[in-house]
């Protein structure tokens, strides 16, 4: 009877423990989106495995000088890569954010040196985490400081663990504690040890984490269950731990041995004498890839640590390896070379830098491999993207007025290294292209057409220093029209003709390819952004990142919307979209103009016929203070934008007793918008 009761108690406790683990343990979230290379050795297990294929040749995309070789950190610290492909690297006392084209996006000087062999950790919300000798720092994606956690860190590689409640940050300290923080820099828990905790933390998939201390122990801790076990090695670590696909924990210890520990209880599976090395990379089949001071790089069997193959280099190897999606292995050596090996240990390629290479590489989503050398440079290996050119018509669209200066604009994407030139050519009526100009890539060229042409095209070529063509782009067909602008659907007595022609002459609005203007068509929000921007004398903008998800860089109106947003002319909707194809209303047009002129808001003039009416739900009523645009209408009227009693520019019809039936909530037509904007040019 007692045995049965005991069995029931054990069963109950087992179920309770399992339930509590399910309830409180961190749950790993999918990493389908987020940083490309978020931390040292890529993932919380420190496998060094990338989901992307790396470069198959030693071809350089670019080389970026970062710091003086005398600073020391350049050849030791490791890069990480954000979701937008920004590369983050911590120098001696500066953290750099580097664009994929090799230019510096921003830098942050933290005023105190960072530890050697450091790698910034990247959170899902874009924060960049790194440790100096006296604190842990979190930066926002724009390089501004988010928070600072003051503690004697001297920890090389903070680790990010994703839970369903958000990212958590794990790092060790000189004071012997392993810290766990949330994204706001608030302490969640700490694990005290008897010695300094210098290196990173590795995780198993159930949230248990492993780290070593200078007290000679390896610790296994679960956030909700505390210390599960600790294994005494008798010495400290030489590197961060790694976790294999079967859960085995691998440690390189200061006694010169590589250890494999059982994840259940920390018992020893095997150990081998290996000298000083770094964290092993772990293949999908569990194979360990690791270099040594004997100038050799090894592939080890995970079952017993025996050698599968070895590769001889010309120097000691302190670099941890990276494995790409094809099983190729990348690492550096103190013979100043970066190596790429196939999975069988044969050489794929090597490249000699100007200094020893102790850094571990990182692989970007486009296959670029980044690694630093003690020569002071960050190297990017991979196939450079061929340059491409986008031709932009910001001024007249498909119709270019004869005899007026027309600004040809272009944007060079992925420009090549070194000296290159731009050649601009013009084709008339399907004829051969004739050179207009050659010169440096300025992004624009002023050109005045000399003859009317129904079928003109522009071609822009990118040339290297030997004048060989690197890239070419040809525009769509456009017309060169008489400077006396004519629209077939604008008769001489059309009420808005003069205003439309005035805006056409200055390039604010254009007609259609069939020679019409279509004055009664509604104006979209994108079209109005262009019209307002150019009327007010502002330039289009071409930022790297779109302000709205529904205004991509590929659309003709991208630069105009971005320019209008920058200058406060237009705004998005609460859902974050701009809705460029939706019609803009008369009230919205008035509001934008009033705001752009900084006119004081005031009530409309009265009495009738100066009280405007509008229709809503098929009813007519006077506008009143409850209408959101009430004082904008007043400001427009008091400053001459709305001319009384001439309401023709925002037409409707004249009602009884002299009221003007103005449809403020109706879409503004091209004619109405042209009239209102033209009054700003008077």
Per-residue confidence (pLDDT) for residue 558, from 0 to 100? 92
What digits encode the pLDDT tens for the residues 558-573? 999 999 999 988 888 8
Classify residue 440 as exposed, middle or buried by CB count within 10 Å of its CB (0-12, 13-18, 19+).
exposed
Per-residue confidence (pLDDT) for residue 276, from 0 to 100? 73
Q: How far apart are CA 305 and CA 254, in angstroms?
A: 18
Out of 78-87, 330-339, 510-519, 544-553, pick the least confident: 510-519
Q: Average pLDDT for residues 290-318, to the nearest whole number? A: 95
CATH number attached to the domain at 32-51+65-381: 2.130.10.10
- 136 CB contacts (<8 Å, ≥6 apart)? 129, 130, 148, 149, 151, 153, 155, 158, 169, 171, 179, 181, 185
Predicted confidence (pLDDT) at residue 26 exceeds the cutoff of 50: no
Q: Average pLDDT for residues 241-245, to the nearest whole number? A: 96
Percent of all residues in the chain with a pLDDT value above 90, rounded to a whole number: 46
pLDDT band at 139 (very low <50, low <70, confident <90, very high): very high
From residue 345, alpha-carbon distances to 49, 86, 318 in Å are: 17, 31, 18
pTM of the predicted protein model: 0.58
Predicted confidence (pLDDT) at residue 658 exceeds the cutoff of 50: no
Predicted confidence (pLDDT) at residue 20 exceeds the cutoff of 50: no
Q: How far apart are CA 249 and CA 205, in angstroms?
A: 12
Predicted confidence (pLDDT) at residue 509 exceeds the cutoff of 80: yes
Out of 197-206, 360-369, 647-656, pick the least confident: 647-656
Per-residue confidence (pLDDT) for residue 96, from 0 to 100? 94
Predicted confidence (pLDDT) at residue 3 exceeds the cutoff of 50: no
pLDDT band at 2 (very low <50, low <70, confident <90, very high): very low
Predicted confidence (pLDDT) at residue 31 exceeds the cutoff of 60: no
More confident residue, 74 or 452: 452
Out of 90-104, 298-312, 473-487, pick the least confident: 473-487
Over the chain, what is the mean pLDDT?
Answer: 83
Q: Return the percent helix, strand and coil in the chain, to nearest 5.
A: 15, 35, 55
Residue carrying structure tokens 């592939």: 299
Q: Average pLDDT for residues 341-369, to the nearest whole number? A: 94
Per-residue confidence (pLDDT) for residue 126, from 0 to 100? 93
Write out the E strands in 223-366: 226-232, 242-243, 249-252, 257-261, 268-273, 281-282, 288-291, 296-300, 307-312, 322-323, 329-332, 337-341, 347-352, 362-363
Out of 159-163, 223-227, 494-498, pick the least confident: 494-498
Q: Average pLDDT for residues 361-384, to the nearest whole number? A: 92
Q: Which of 72-76, 465-469, 606-610 has the highest mean pLDDT?
A: 465-469
Q: Average pLDDT for residues 186-197, to the nearest whole number? A: 93
Domain boundaries of the chain, sorted by first residue: 32-51+65-381, 388-481, 497-678
Out of 159-168, 323-332, 334-343, pick the least confident: 159-168
- Partnered with residue 167 across adjacent β-strands are 162
Per-residue confidence (pLDDT) for residue 116, from 0 to 100? 57
Per-residue confidence (pLDDT) for residue 479, from 0 to 100? 81
pLDDT band at 157 (very low <50, low <70, confident <90, very high): confident
Predicted confidence (pLDDT) at residue 301 exceeds the cutoff of 60: yes
Q: Average pLDDT for residues 50-72, to the nearest whole number? A: 84
Q: Average pLDDT for residues 34-47, to the nearest whole number? A: 95
Per-residue confidence (pLDDT) for residue 30, from 0 to 100? 35
pLDDT band at 617 (very low <50, low <70, confident <90, very high): very low
More confident residue, 116 or 407: 407
Per-residue confidence (pLDDT) for residue 350, from 0 to 100? 95
What digits encode the pLDDT tens for the residues 570-587? 888 889 999 999 999 988
- Partnered with residue 671 across adjacent β-strands are none
More confident residue, 358 or 396: 358
Counting every residue written for the chain, the total comes to 682
Per-residue confidence (pLDDT) for residue 610, from 0 to 100? 41
Out of 45-54, 358-367, 390-399, pick the least confident: 390-399
More confident residue, 284 or 408: 284
Per-residue confidence (pLDDT) for residue 34, from 0 to 100? 87
Crossing angle between the packed helical segments 670-678 and 586-596, to the nearest 10 degrees: 20
CATH number attached to the domain at 388-481: 2.60.40.10
Per-residue confidence (pLDDT) for residue 644, from 0 to 100? 53
Q: Average pLDDT for residues 138-155, to the nearest whole number? A: 86
Per-residue confidence (pLDDT) for residue 638, from 0 to 100? 82
pLDDT band at 413 (very low <50, low <70, confident <90, very high): confident
Q: CA Rg, the chain, in Å?
A: 33
Predicted confidence (pLDDT) at residue 101 exceeds the cutoff of 70: yes
Structure tokens at 328: 């190729």
Predicted confidence (pLDDT) at residue 71 exceeds the cutoff of 60: no
pLDDT band at 168 (very low <50, low <70, confident <90, very high): very high
């Amino acid at each position: 009877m007692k045995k049965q009761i005991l069995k029931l108690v054990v069963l109950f406790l087992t179920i309770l423990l399992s339930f509590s683990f399910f309830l409180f343990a961190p749950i790993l979230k999918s990493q389908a989106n987020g940083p490309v290379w978020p931390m040292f050795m890529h993932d919380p297990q420190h496998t060094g495995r990338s989901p992307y294929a790396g470069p198959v040749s030693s071809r350089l995309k670019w080389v970026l000088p970062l710091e003086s070789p005398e600073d020391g950190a350049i050849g030791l610290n490791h890069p990480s890569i954000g979701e937008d492909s920004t590369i983050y690297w911590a120098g001696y006392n500066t953290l750099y954010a580097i664009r994929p084209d090799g230019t510096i996006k921003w830098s942050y000087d933290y005023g105190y040196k960072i530890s050697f062999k450091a790698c910034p950790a990247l959170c899902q919300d874009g924060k960049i985490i790194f440790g100096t000798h006296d604190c842990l720092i979190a930066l926002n994606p724009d390089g501004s400081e988010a928070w600072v956690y003051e503690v004697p860190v001297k920890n090389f590689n903070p680790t990010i663990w994703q839970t369903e409640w958000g990212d958590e940050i794990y790092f060790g300290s000189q004071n012997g504690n392993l810290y766990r923080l949330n994204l706001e820099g608030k302490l969640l828990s700490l694990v005290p040890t008897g010695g300094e905790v210098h290196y990173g933390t590795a995780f198993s998939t159930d949230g248990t984490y492993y780290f070593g201390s200078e007290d000679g122990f390896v610790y296994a801790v679960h956030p909700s269950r505390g210390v599960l076990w600790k294994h005494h090695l008798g010495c400290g670590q030489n590197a961060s731990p790694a976790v294999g696909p079967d859960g085995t924990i691998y440690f390189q210890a200061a006694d010169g041995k590589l250890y494999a520990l059982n994840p259940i209880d920390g018992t020893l599976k095997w150990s081998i004498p290996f000298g000083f090395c770094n964290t092993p990379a772990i293949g999908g089949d569990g194979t360990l890839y690791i270099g040594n001071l004997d100038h050799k790089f090894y592939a080890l069997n995970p079952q017993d640590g025996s050698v599968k193959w070895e590769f001889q280099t010309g120097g000691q190897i302190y670099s941890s390896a990276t494995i790409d999606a094809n099983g190729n292995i990348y690492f550096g050596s103190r013979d100043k070379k970066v190596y790429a090996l196939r999975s069988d240990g044969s050489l794929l390629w090597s490249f000699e830098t100007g200094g020893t290479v102790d850094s571990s590489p990182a692989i970007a989503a486009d296959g670029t491999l980044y690694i630093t050398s003690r020569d002071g440079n960050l190297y990017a290996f991979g196939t450079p993207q061929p340059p491409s050119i986008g031709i932009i018509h910001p001024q007249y669209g498909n119709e270019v007025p004869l005899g007026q200066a027309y600004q040809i604009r272009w944007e060079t994407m992925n420009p090549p290294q070194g000296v290159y030139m731009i050649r601009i050519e013009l084709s008339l009526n399907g004829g051969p292209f004739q050179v207009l100009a050659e010169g440096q890539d300025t992004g624009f060229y002023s050109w005045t057409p000399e003859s009317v042409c129904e079928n003109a095209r522009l071609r822009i070529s990118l040339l290297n220093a030997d004048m060989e063509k690197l890239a070419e782009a040809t525009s769509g067909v456009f017309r060169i029209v008489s400077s006396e602008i004519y629209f077939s659907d604008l008769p001489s007595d059309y009420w808005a003709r003069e205003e439309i022609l005035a805006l056409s002459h200055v390039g604010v609005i254009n007609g259609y390819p069939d020679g019409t203007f279509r004055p009664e068509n509604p104006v979209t929000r994108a079209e109005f952004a262009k019209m307002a921007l150019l009327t007010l004398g502002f330039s289009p903008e071409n930022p790297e990142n779109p302000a709205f998800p529904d205004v991509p860089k590929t659309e003709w109106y991208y630069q105009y919307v971005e320019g209008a947003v920058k200058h406060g002319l237009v705004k998005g909707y609460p859902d974050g979209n701009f809705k460029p194809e939706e019609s803009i209303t008369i009230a919205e047009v008035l509001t934008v103009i009033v705001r752009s002129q900084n006119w004081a808001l005031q009530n409309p003039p009265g009495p009738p016929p100066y009280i405007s009416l509008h229709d809503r739900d098929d009813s007519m009523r006077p506008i009143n203070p409850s209408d959101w645009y009430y004082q904008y209408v007043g400001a427009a009227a008091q400053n001459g934008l709305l001319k009384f009693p001439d309401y023709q520019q925002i037409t409707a019809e004249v009602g009884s007793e002299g009221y003007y039936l103005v449809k403020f909530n109706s879409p503004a037509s091209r004619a109405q918008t042209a009239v209102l904007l033209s009054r700003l040019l008077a």
